[in-house]
Amino acid sequence: MYLQNLTTEKLKTKLNDIILNKIYTCKKCSSKCVWMSKIKFKLIYSWRSCKNKQNALENSIFFNSKLKLDEILSIIGLWAHNISTNNIALILQISRQSVSKVLRKKGDKLVTNYYCNLPKLGGENIIVEIDESKFRKRKYNRRHHVEGVWVFGIVERTTQRKILLFPVK
């Protein structure tokens, strides 16, 4: 339990550093933001004619959550230690559905971030192969139709053999 609390404290400190030290600008008038409430992460814009307000946690897994920031960080910390969803719900005394929702939101953000930061393949004098394939389980009964999964792949023809695979939806 000590390790989990230590991890949660480190996460909370890092998150506060990232959120509170970031310079925010208005989406409408591009003026600099001023903190209205650091406890609720509310921002107000310094340009008086704008009068626009925004939450600093917008577009994050913490936005519009009924759970406290500490609870969300504890869920992520326990999940990082390979504790099951049911056990996390029991430890934190939160419903299993709430734990699953937080982890699903976290997963969606990670997938988006992953696809945005993929390495670049190819370049000058580097050959790249592009191919697509369909994978499915073979069935012996011909009347039983089995749907497969299309996979799009890119392979770099170098000694490093970099590869990227994407399931096609």
Q: Give tens-digit pLDDT for 29-59.
A: 777 776 666 656 655 555 556 667 766 677 7
Check: pTM over 0.95? Answer yes or no.
no
Note whether 46 and 110 are same-domain residues: yes
Domain that residue 154 falls in: 124-135+147-169
Note whether 130 and 102 are same-domain residues: no
Note whether 153 and 78 are same-domain residues: no
Note whether 10 and 31 are same-domain residues: yes
Which pLDDT score is estimated for 117? 80
Burial class (CB in 10 A: 0-12, 13-18, 19+), 161: exposed
Cα-based torsion angle of the residue sequence 32, 10, 38, 91 in order, rounded to the nearest 10 degrees? 140
Q: Residue 27 in contact with residue 45, Cβ under 8 Å?
A: no
Note whether 82 and 161 are same-domain residues: no
Please give the residue that has the higher pLDDT: either 63 or 74: 74
Measured on CA atoms in the order 131, 137, 141, 147, is the torsion positive or negative? negative
Which pLDDT score is estimated for 60? 74
Domain count, the chain: 2
Residue 141 lies in a domain: no
pLDDT band at 91 (very low <50, low <70, confident <90, very high): very high
